[in-house]
Amino acid sequence: MEILSIPVLRDNYIHVLHDVETGATAVVDPAESLPVLDVLAQRGWILTHILNTHHHADHVGGNRELKRVTDCRVIGKHKGSEFIPDLDFPVGEGDWITLGTRRVQVMEVPGHTLGHIAYWLPEDHALFSGDTLFGMGCGRLLGGTVQQLWTSLERLLGLPDDTRVYCAHEYTQNNGRFALMMEPGNPALIKRMKEVDRMRSENLPTVPSLMGMERETNPFLRPESPEIRERLGMPDAANQAVFQELRFRKDAF
């Protein structure tokens, strides 16, 4: 599977998946249509699928035009008022999608929104996490609950360390600054931030990251860290409570 990431808007990524053997091509969360159509034309690819993680405008803004031009199929979670434009195939937990020679697992990961899903390609160790998991961060609560988001992140933590995490935004540098404030003594975090600062100074993407790297440096995946607990004054709190305090502090960061 060939994977390209197109930077759009201020800090979004549209991820393009192309199965070399069959020509099947999907985009994940097309915020806009024109950048996708440009890449398809340059590569000679034909769009067959849109995979939406959730309903926010900066993730579905290109759906209608892409479907009109390419007659692709739109896949996403149907969840009440969380409207996915031109949705063809509603999916949920336990569903699998066929994309060329690959099978794509649908994972329900609510919290950022109630209907948020992620897409996991086990053969490629690639996760398309939308706004649930970012580089050194996680999504805000915009419809779901703290418990839902923490449960979703715990689930993603079960994926292999070499999983490539394709999130939907270039938030890594800002997230890392917050992480350093919460865990300044973490050597893996210090090392990662030096590399992130270098990459961003050269206008290079920090996406994808690796799940193993997130385990070591993402404070939202590290509520058991003694240093984080000391910073928050929560030495004996449950992991979910520590996570909740981190999320609320990041909202005001």
Q: What DSSP element (H or E) covers 89?
A: strand 89-90
- What's the pLDDT tens digit per position in 183-230? 999 999 999 999 999 999 999 999 999 999 999 999 999 999 999 999
Q: Is 18 a catalytic residue?
A: no
Give tens-digit pLDDT for 166-185: 999 999 999 999 999 999 99
Domains along the chain with CATH numbers: 2-251 (3.60.15.10)
Taking residue 252's Cβ as centre, other Cβ atoms within 10 Å add up to 5
Does this model's pTM top 0.95? Answer: yes
Q: What is the pLDDT of residues 91-143, one digit of tens each?
A: 999 999 999 999 999 999 999 999 999 999 999 999 999 999 999 999 999 99
58 counts as catalytic: yes
* pLDDT of 81 strictly over 70: no
86 annotated active-site? no
- Rounded CA gap, 223 and 246, in Å? 8
Residues 6+ apart with CB under 8 A from 188: 213, 216, 217
Q: Is 56 a catalytic residue?
A: yes
Question: In the chain, pLDDT over 70 holds for what percent of residues?
Answer: 99
Q: Which of 15, 18, 55, 59 is catalytic?
A: 59
Catalytic member of 15, 18, 55, 112: 112
Which residue out of 19, 54, 55, 125 is catalytically annotated? 54
How many beta carbons lie within 10 A of that of residue 37, not counting itself?
Answer: 17
Token pair in block for residue 116? 């948020």
8-state DSSP, 9: T
- The tokens describing 203, both together, are 């206008």
What average pLDDT does the chain have?
A: 97
Which tokens go with 170? 């270039």
Alpha-carbon distance values, 86 to 20, 44, 159 (Å): 27, 24, 31
